[in-house]
Structure 1
């Protein structure tokens, strides 16, 4: 029987060293990536929300506007009650202005008012009064508000976070902020320099910007200067300074709320990250451990944990694919082991025959017997050569087909060529071939291997057909499959061997054929080729109307291109 060939790559690539897992002592890289990706949005959110300078500027602008209104009221009151007009000239009267300024500022305990004359000299200070015996007493400002421990921590965290970002300030008109600790007070001194004179002129004209500063002890102070006018004549300058405690308190409240929301979002993010790590990273590590166990030869059928294979997601698909690949690999290993054992068994018979013939040849002196023994040795040598060739052919099939890309193959002319070749070489009593196939029937495969399968099956049918019999070859397309059936008129196949005839080294030959003419690998190689091309091959018996066996039928189904 004609046989086929093709390599099988039985050697596996060398194992890749794999680091042993230490899940209890080491955070997986996937978990770190999940945490980083999930925690980045909350951090960006908190950085944006903590960036409260614009909100703080709005509060400061409102504070400045209120303080400026208050300063104008003070300036108008002093211009009306603390000024003497003589010869159409308005003059500030310090003796009247001082008590008046103190009376005006009494309701505002956190406000300090100063009154300067047109030369920039201090006339009155709401925090300075005359005590008993004419002594000058200065009333200190209320102590700065001290944040609680939590607020202090929040403030420090906030400032630390803001240090990471540039801090452009968006301010309303006429607002100047100096947050340098210990910044000097808005004031004029008796020894006026050129800069102070210009500042004095602007103050008398009402053109000095409000001044906001942060002192060394943490106070946020707002200062505004308003001119006091009488009869359109400037008589002095009222300087009001107030601690903007409510601004700090409101900003701190918002910071605390934002940080609380951030802490909650961060906790949820970490919990979700751990959940994702448990459902993604941990299964990946388990699959990696299973792959390592497979490499070490442990766990043939149950290498992958059953819970992972039961999952209905991508992890489950990967686990099932890994287990399927493992099963296929072990099946290939077992098949190679059986193949090696079968090869050893098949080669042992002719080797034993050759050895016996040689030992006998040494003792026999009869020339006729020596010629017979030499003929036996020659036949066994030819048999072993054929057997080794078929074995090599069988071992190459899988590897060759795995490297070869399937292409459209028209099997109709192949069948026609095989039929014509048999018709041209058949003897007088040899079986004939009857072909029933369409003009074109294209399948996906490798042309050389498809020809090998069809030649093997046709040669097998011809060898079992009686003299003068017929071998019928029919081909047709049935949906997405092309079906090729080869029928003979021989004795058929034993019912118990309909599957066994495709095993390696199985041989069921016609009567009268000399032993050792075939290796028993032809049908096995044909099944290898057909299944590697995504098709199926099967054997069955043809029946007469009375139920008797009319011959054998081999059916090959290949996917249509």
Structure 2
């Protein structure tokens, strides 16, 4: 079950919930807002209107041109501002052809079609036609005619019993409007609560209205369409939700599982005792090319630096212990000899040794304290702009020796002034300690790469192969074991230089005696 542990992650849960909420809100809006029903009703009504118009045109054409048995009716032509009236002979609806048309067009649908002739007589009802196979024709209540025109359409047409299902007024109104030559479409609700759509269109033969087609949808058809639409949407929602959940869990897994592995590796470091695991135990996700990969690289680099720092501290402690043992051993030997000798000259020499070892230990402890605080102080101290040539001129009187300064360029730098002065002082002290005549040369130079301070001494030079070793802590090749130098000066100088983006190098002088130590600093300083 370890592979599914990411399901318990709070981040995974948030990803899944956030991705699902938007989908749920969208689905709820579709289901519960009325726009779905209204749009379906409008679309169904338009479809029913088109179907009714097609059937009405077919019925009008089926009446033919036989006017021998037709009716004399008003011929009404209407434009925007005039009404011209006359009388024409219009054919009557052909019952047999009407039956054939309705059988072919209405039978494949669930709609109900009723055809009324000019006198308001129900010619055909598709419900009766399709169930019994018979053509029906029954008289409706006699229409009332106006005194001026006894052939006018029935404006107070009364519905039959089949039309009295709570919608008789609507049927009457629709038929009367269609008798006037206009199409009427409306949505009605039956006493049972079912919605129906009703369309009444005039049946015309040329310009003469010879009847009315009343086309209605099955009761509850709109509800069935809405229910079917919602069912379809629910299925789509479930599919999309399933895909969303799968993708969400996959996304959560690609995020939480690597983070969990990284956290486990870090916890292993925290729980480790004396033996810390190697930085390679932290998973490497650098191939992801994303924030997780960056985090993995950063953690591995941080742990590598931490392990190196711990190794440095351990080595430093070992070096300190070793360096302190030498003066302590010398002091112990001098004290024992001092207790057993009565010779004044010997006692005087032993006291000198004790004093030198004590001074050496004091210098050593001071330098060790300086080295241990150096990293923190370098990070806290602020940089400043200053002139290096002025700093060199100020440093020369602080040391005892014959020092020549050659300044080839006036340069300024942005750095920690006191720390740069510390490097220069260490280099001067080191050069003077190896120069028998106490003669050294300091040269300040600059080029496009950076600033150079060269310190040349007139000593024996560097032994082969120690150019890098001399910058290690406590390294010294001075023959005098009671020398006050701790062996940390060059190491501290290198550490300060690197913190400023530079370095300190050493080599033997060419065509001359002695060694050359060079401090390099970039122009931009720290």
Aligned pairs for 1:527-546 within 5 A: 527-544=494-511
1:323 alignment partner, SS class: helix
Identify which range, 216-225 or 327-336, moves more after superposition: 216-225
* Aligned residue among 453, 457, 462 for 1:488: 457
Aligned pairs for 1:115-264 within 5 A: 125-128=125-128, 188-189=163-164, 202=177, 204-205=179-180, 209-211=184-186, 222-226=197-201, 237-242=212-217
| Partner deviation per Cα, 1:466-518 (whole Å, 9 max, x = no partner) | 22x5312122223222222111001112224322222222233366xx81422
Matching residue of 2:102: 105
Structure 1 residues 320 and 121 mapped into 2: Cα distance closer, same or farther (>3 Å)? same
Aligned pairs for 1:378-527 within 5 A: 378-419=355-396, 421=397, 426=400, 430=401, 432-467=402-437, 470-509=439-478, 515-527=482-494
1:538 alignment partner, SS class: strand
Structure 1 residues 331 and 103 mapped into 2: Cα distance closer, same or farther (>3 Å)? closer
Q: After TM superposition, give the deviation of residue 323 of structure 1 in Å.
A: 2.9
| Partner deviation per Cα, 1:106-146 (whole Å, 9 max, x = no partner) | 333245333569999978634337999x9x99xxxxxxxxx
Q: After TM superposition, give the deviation of residue 328 of structure 1 in Å.
A: 2.0
* Aligned residue among 70, 83, 92 for 2:55: 70
1:433 alignment partner, SS class: strand
Q: After TM superposition, give the deviation of residue 554 of structure 1 in Å.
A: 0.7
| Partner deviation per Cα, 1:168-203 (whole Å, 9 max, x = no partner) | xxxxxxxxxxxxxxxxx9974399998887666545
1:26 alignment partner, SS class: helix
Structure 1 residues 190 and 113 mapped into 2: Cα distance closer, same or farther (>3 Å)? same
Q: How far apart, in 1, do the equivalents of 2:290 and 2:202 lie?
A: 77
1:300 is aligned to 2:278: yes
Q: Tell whether the 8 Å contact from 2:196 to 2:217 is kept in structure 1 after alignment.
A: yes
1:322 is aligned to 2:302: no
Matching residue of 2:141: none
Identify which range, 42-51 or 231-240, moves more after superposition: 42-51
Identify which range, 229-238 or 206-215, moves more after superposition: 229-238
Matching residue of 2:323: 346
Q: How far apart, in 1, do the equivalents of 2:169 and 2:233 lie?
A: 48
Q: Which has the higher contact order (CA 8 A, sep 6+)?
A: 1
Q: How far apart, in 2, do the equivalents of 1:383 and 1:355 lie?
A: 14
What stretches of structure 1 of length at least 5 have no aligned partner?
1-20, 138-184
Structure 1 residues 336 and 358 mapped into 2: Cα distance closer, same or farther (>3 Å)? same
Structure 1 residues 186 and 259 mapped into 2: Cα distance closer, same or farther (>3 Å)? farther
1:495 alignment partner, SS class: coil
CA RMSD of aligned residues (A): 5.7
2:281 alignment partner, SS class: coil
1:391 alignment partner, SS class: helix
What stretches of structure 2 of length at least 5 have no aligned partner?
75-86, 138-159
Q: How far apart, in 2, do the equivalents of 1:25 and 1:473 lie?
A: 67
Structure 1 residues 204 and 507 mapped into 2: Cα distance closer, same or farther (>3 Å)? same
Structure 1 residues 35 and 411 mapped into 2: Cα distance closer, same or farther (>3 Å)? farther
Q: Tell whether the 8 Å contact from 2:360 to 2:482 is kept in structure 1 after alignment.
A: no
| Partner deviation per Cα, 1:413-459 (whole Å, 9 max, x = no partner) | 2122223x25xx75xxx4x2222223422344311111100111012
Identify which range, 403-412 or 211-220, moves more after superposition: 211-220
Q: Tell whether the 8 Å contact from 1:120 to 1:189 is kept in structure 2 after alignment.
A: no
